[in-house]
Amino acid sequence: MNTPIKFTTAEEAVKVIKSGDHVHLSSVASAPQCLIKAMCARGEAGELKNVHVHHLHTEGPAPYADPKFEGVFQLDSLFVGANVRKVTQSGYADYIPIFLSETQKLYRSGAVPCNVAMIQVCPPDKHGYVSLGTSVDATLAAIECADHVIAVVNKYVPRAFGQAMIPLSKIDLFVQDDQPLVEAKFSEPSDVEKAIGAHCAELIEDGATLQMGIGAIPNAVLAQLGNHKNLGIHTEMFADGVLPLVRKGVINGEAKKTDPGKMVSTFLMGSQEVYNFIDDNPGVLMMDVGYTNDPYVISQNDRFVAINSAIQVDLTGQVCADSIGTKFWSGVGGQVDFVYGASLSKGGKAIIAMPSITTKGVSKIAPVLDTGAGVVTTRNHIHWLVTENGAVDLYGKTLQERARLVISIAHPSAQEELDRAAFERFGSHHHYIKGYMQK
């Protein structure tokens, strides 16, 4: 089982890529930068054309998306991160709208080919297994379907358990490159974000299972949960905010029905402390995204709470988390997977949380969504909506009732205009004016 690995160089390894191939890159902190650099060098040398690149969000450089590679590399991402957003907006790259839970299905169904999977793994253990570390997501499916799998063996990739563990036999070519994983830093929550976090925390019961992603609002929620008991984690991703609650014993997974006692995720992004936390930790399972984001699996946990963000919400409860006008945002992600799963859970709560106005003072609650805005969570799926001004449950409410509730947590500076818009939309045939227009 301790057969030595035969390493090659990144430059030699990427020679398996042919013109017209589809290449998958492992995501987030685990993008294999030395292979990306070598692949792009082949492109600059005129050795490749029409190579399709696929990945979820990645941290670090994405040189294959540079306009100079038009006709050489075509980025068709499954989620658009900040490093490729500008080129996607300008038309030099594209993306495939897809629920996060189904990204793996693209490969397994053959809807998207995978000729070459380029991944990062930890050094092998004595049993001949390596770990995908922080990035399982759709990468496991890509490995299963690829004609060639190139793995960067990196001592900084944590040895994570669950479906992250794969045998060496799944890999065709090995490259060694000990480059520290990219770390993500998050600012302290603002007063508005703290208020949103407090409203969300009030909706979370002891014994709940949580999904809340990363960023200022999730961290603000987690900071409010120090006195809770027996919380669990089943999520697409988590970051540093969960660690104090794990150390305190608040997050222990004891009430979970799926994977009790375990934290479940499909990819991670955070500080080195997070990467150290999952290394050799049997309490964390890094799983295929088809499992973590399956609404049925999610719903098996009672009191499941899913907290997701939004760019804009209209008076009927339509949630845009994809784009506004012609400004491309990021993609659908896992919001619908978890909104639906939490809604099916016994005692579950699906929460959309956002500030009531943008940093430029524009209301994020609008009469109608902006032209071109992508409806991610439909008015049929939305339940709880939270801003710094409160929390309202829209489930089972009529359009007029929804409008009143949504306006009640809008920014005060926007409420009069929203009142007027709601009256024009709903008040001509009904008595909408009762409650808002009689101010």
> What are the tens digits of pLDDT across the range 152-187?
999 999 999 999 999 999 999 999 999 999 998 888
Q: Say what the pLDDT of residue 67 is.
A: 96
Q: 3-class secondary structure for the chain?
A: CCCCCCECCHHHHHHHCCCCCEEEECCECCCCHHHHHHHHHHHHCCCCCCEEEECCCECCCCHHHCHHHCCCEEEEECCCCHHHHHHHHCCCCEECCCCHHHHHHHHHCCCCCCCEEEEEECCCCCCCEEECCCECCCHHHHHHHCCEEEEEECCCCCCCEECCEEEHHHCCEEEECCCCCCCCCCCCCCHHHHHHHHHHHHCCCCCCEEECCCCHHHHHHHCCCCCCCCEEEECCEECHHHHHHHHHCCECCCCCCCCCCCEEECEECCCHHHHHHHCCCCCEEECCHHHHCCHHHHHCCCCEEEEECCCEEECCCCEECCEECCEECCCCCCHHHHHHHHHHCCCCEEEEECCCECCCCCECEECCCCCCCCEEECCCCCCEEEECCEEEECCCCCHHHHHHHHHHCCCHHHHHHHHHHHHHHHCCCCCCCCCCCCC
Active site residue 188: no
Cβ distance 306 to 204 under 8 Å? no
pLDDT tens digits for 244-292?
999 999 999 999 999 999 999 999 999 999 999 999 999 999 999 999 9
Q: Say what the pLDDT of residue 428 is.
A: 57
Taking residues 357-368, report their average pLDDT.
96
Cβ distance 42 to 12 under 8 Å? no
For residue 398, pLDDT over 70 is answered with yes
The b/e string for 90-116 (b: 16+ C-beta within 10 A; e otherwise) is eebbebeebbbbbbbbbbbeeebbbbb
- pLDDT band of residue 325 (cuts 50, 70, 90) is very low
0.85 exceeded by the pTM?
yes
Q: Give the residue from 266, 330, 31 showing the smallest Cα distance to 137.
A: 266
What's the chain's average pLDDT?
Answer: 93
Q: Which fold has domain 10-176?
A: Glutaconate Coenzyme A-transferase (3.40.1080)
Q: Say what the pLDDT of residue 437 is.
A: 45
Asked whether the domain spanning 191-426 has the same topology as the one spanning 10-176, the reply is yes
CA atoms of 74 and 70, how far apart (whole Å): 7
The catalytic position among 59, 102, 193, 236 is 236
Phi-psi region of 372 (alpha: psi -120 to 50; beta: other; left: phi over 0): left
Q: Say what the pLDDT of residue 111 is.
A: 98
Q: Say what the pLDDT of residue 82 is.
A: 86
- pLDDT band of residue 329 (cuts 50, 70, 90) is low
Q: Say what the pLDDT of residue 268 is.
A: 93
- How do the domains of the chain map onto residue ranges? 10-176, 191-426
Rounded percentage of the chain residues whose pLDDT exceeds 70? 95
For residue 115, pLDDT over 90 is answered with yes
CATH superfamily assigned to domain 191-426? Acetyl-CoA hydrolase/transferase C-terminal domain (3.40.1080.20)
